[in-house]
A = this chain, B = another copy of it.
Amino acid sequence: MGNVIIGQSGGPTAVINSSLAGAIRAAKDHGIKKVYGMHHGIEGFLNDDVIDLDIYFDDLYELSLLKRTPSAFLGSCRYKLPEIEGNEDTYEKMFLLMEKYDIEYFLYIGGNDSMDTIKQLSDYAAMHGKDQKFIGIPKTIDNDLPVTDHTPGYGSASKFIATTMKEIIRDNESFGASEPKLCVVEIMGRNAGWLTASSMLADDPDCNGPDLIYLPEVAFDPEAFIRRVHDLCLIKKSIVIAISEGIQLADGTLVCELGNDATFVDAFGHRQLSGAGKVLTNMIAEQIGYKTRTIEFSILQRCATHLASRTDIDEAYNVGYVGCEAAMKGETGKMITIEVLKRTPYVADYGIHDIHDIANVEKKVPLEWITNDGTYVSQEFREYAHPLVLGSLSKHTAGGVPKHLVL
């Protein structure tokens, strides 16, 4: 039996370290000799930047603290493996490094792009008769991985969004004695509106939730938007609007591109979007004339481990644990999935699925869950998302501020 190596990749989440904790624990429970970490994912691994994790986890306290630490403990990367054909050198180098550390089990915690890494490596291993096992552990606040019911990281981001949205609505409605007060909240999500949809969870017996919710799944119509806002201003003093950063016009133009801010393109060719909220705020100022605030949740929605969901922490831990076990049972070229057996009371189990159906495929919010001419989401969405934000974990706090585990 060889060793295990674990990598973390892509945008961090509040619970990506819980998956790492689960995988480490499974390796230890099953008598794996050495547990290694890739420093900054596959990019670091290619430079032989490997961490001996045994020195960090000699008792359970460190694992429990790791579950409470935001961001990627091992360091992350946004590195896309090249196509195999014509780049065999890169792959040979990687497999030589695996031999150097006697690695039999290769676990990669990530989203869409990271699952592509698992696909390429397992394809190469199959082509060249290599014995290493490659398993993907799902992770993304965007919740856009197919096959799995949802992805670890999404529940905690949703809990942050719902909680903070409710606090913002409360704050926004505290004024409003004279003219309407508006607030546009910009939430992450390039092509899939899962995160923005979660803002509807602020709709509680003691809160009406946001007034309008715009997802990238439906074309954004500026004229209809202004009409809606105008009508709301006639009947309400406090108006809060949730939008995805990636909302776009019918012709595919991103709303954020209507502003002045330059957009940045990352290594995967994804544009880093921001500014859609500001564009809508300016639109309201020019065409309706009321003061409007723009709030961008920015990376707070993916790193607010202080507000992580217990369901999410547990599931993230479990997919890590189950992923390590699956590799040890001989599975390869697959990703661990979450299967929800019952929504109420919530019962979930874990499955495994061929990576070829998953890598590079995006799952969007079903159109039938988007209501009110594309300005809200349905109760079916609530039933889906609600169990994922339940519960919390006690904090390890020192001096009023949560403690983290660091390399």
Binding site for B on A (CB under 8 A): 8, 12, 40, 43-44, 69-72, 75-78, 159, 162-164, 166-168, 170-177, 201-202, 204-207, 260, 264, 291, 293, 295-296, 298-300, 302-307, 309, 386, 389-392, 395, 397-406
Contacts and interface: CB of A to CB of B under 8 A. Distances in A.
Given A70-B170, A386-B399, A389-B401, 13 more contacts: A43-B177, A69-B170, A71-B174, A77-B177, A167-B303, A170-B303, A171-B303, A204-B401, A206-B403, A306-B307, A309-B400, A391-B400, A392-B397
A280 to B, nearest CB: 15
Contact of A264 (B44, B291, B386): B291
A10 B293 CA distance: 17
Contact of A76 (B44, B175, B291): B175
A15 B174 CA distance: 14
Nearest 8 Cβ contacts at the A-B interface: A389-B400, A71-B170, A40-B177, A171-B303, A72-B174, A167-B303, A71-B174, A390-B400
18 contacts: A69-B170, A70-B171, A71-B170, A75-B174, A78-B175, A162-B401, A163-B306, A167-B303, A167-B304, A167-B305, A168-B303, A172-B299, A204-B399, A206-B403, A206-B404, A389-B401, A390-B399, A392-B395
A171 to B, nearest CB: 4
Most chain B C-beta atoms within 10 Å of own C-beta, residue among A175, A305, A403 = A175
Contacts of A402: 163, 166
Contacts of A309: 400
Contact of A176 (B75, B163, B260, B303): B75
Contacts of A401: 159, 162-163, 166, 201-202, 204, 389
Contact of A44 (B8, B177, B397): B177
Nearest to A41: B177
A107 to B, nearest CB: 18
Nearest to A307: B306
Contacts of A71: 167, 170-171, 173-174
A164 B70 CA distance: 11
A72 B163 CA distance: 17
Given A43-B177, A44-B177, A170-B70, A299 B293 contact: yes
B43 A400 contact: no
A103 B298 CA distance: 47
Contacts of A78: 175
Contact of A77 (B43, B159, B175): B175
Contacts of A299: 168, 171-172, 293, 295
A32 B214 CA distance: 49
A404 B170 contact: yes
A304 B333 CA distance: 43
B295 A298 contact: yes
A405 B205 CA distance: 10
